[in-house]
Amino acid sequence: MTAAASSTPLLVMAPPPRPAVETAQPHPAAAEDDAEARRLAAAISIGDESAFQVLYARYQRRLLRLALVLARGDETLAHDAVQAAFIVAAKKLRGAESAEHLWNWLARVTRQQVAKAWRRHAHDVEVVEVAELPDCPANQSDSLLEQCLERAMQSLDADEHEVIEWFYFDGLGHREIAERLGATPKAVSSRLERARTKLRGVIARQLSHET
């Protein structure tokens, strides 16, 4: 008896599946993201430069946002920490189970790099404690910090928010921003300084309240 012949009566006689015990199928997009994360991590582990460039483009902006909060708005420290985190990734990333696992790994390394930089600069030890948080279930700590930055950004005036986004997250220089605004690079520098001072203050107040 062939497999095709024997399978038909079983299909007819089998009871309908119970919705309550059906196994949830992963969302196609999530499955694709997980597969891509595994592919990237595997390629980076063997020194694939193009895979590393994809990783950098995909996560640099989000990691910078995380680092900026951990660094209490110190953008130089945040940039240095993110760059150091990617150096660690190039050397030590060996694999990833999913997109969430890859993000958590990168975020943990970034927190560690912020803590190291903070100690080197002899800043407030309270931030080191925040930066050295252990693995966080469901990414709760990272989400909290990202929300902190979003609230801080929303507290800025529209023009302040704009120049912060352009300069820190889009990578535009003073001259490029000046061309967009029809202003001088010196005016852009002054506007950035006011915006970053305000942003640092808002972030510090929020974290002092929440930690």
Query: Per residue in 27-71, pLDDT tens?
Result: 667 888 899 999 999 999 999 999 999 999 999 988 998 888 888
Residue 87 domain boundaries:
31-135
Global pTM reads 0.63
Tell me if 21 is assigned to some domain: no
Based on the domain organization, do 127 and 165 belong to the same domain?
no
Position with higher pLDDT, 159 vs 130: 159
Whether the pLDDT of residue 132 is over 60: the answer is no
- From 105, 135, 165, the end of a domain falls on 135
**Sorting pLDDT into bands at 50, 70 and 90, what band is 22?**
very low
Q: Which helix (H) or strand (E) holds 163?
A: helix 158-164
Q: Give me the number of domains the chain comprises.
A: 2
Last residue within a domain, chosen from 135, 167, 194? 135
Q: Check whether 2 has a pLDDT greater than 80.
A: no
What angle (nearest 5°) sits at the alpha carbon of residue 87, between those of residues 81 and 89? 105
**What's the mean per-residue pLDDT of the chain?**
77
2 in any annotated domain: no
**The domain that contains 200 carries what CATH number?**
1.10.10.10
* Residue 79 resides in a domain: yes
The answer to whether residue 131 sits within a structural domain is yes
86 lies in the same domain as 44 = yes
Mark which of 69, 101, 135 sits at the end of a domain: 135
Say if residue 143's pLDDT is above 70. no
Q: Cβ neighbours of residue 41 under 8 Å, at least 6 residues apart?
A: 93, 94, 95, 96, 102
39 part of a folded domain = yes
Whether the predicted pLDDT of 166 surpasses 80: yes
CATH code of the domain in which 90 resides: 1.10.1740
127: in domain: yes
Helix, strand, coil content of the chain in percent (nearest 5): 80, 0, 20
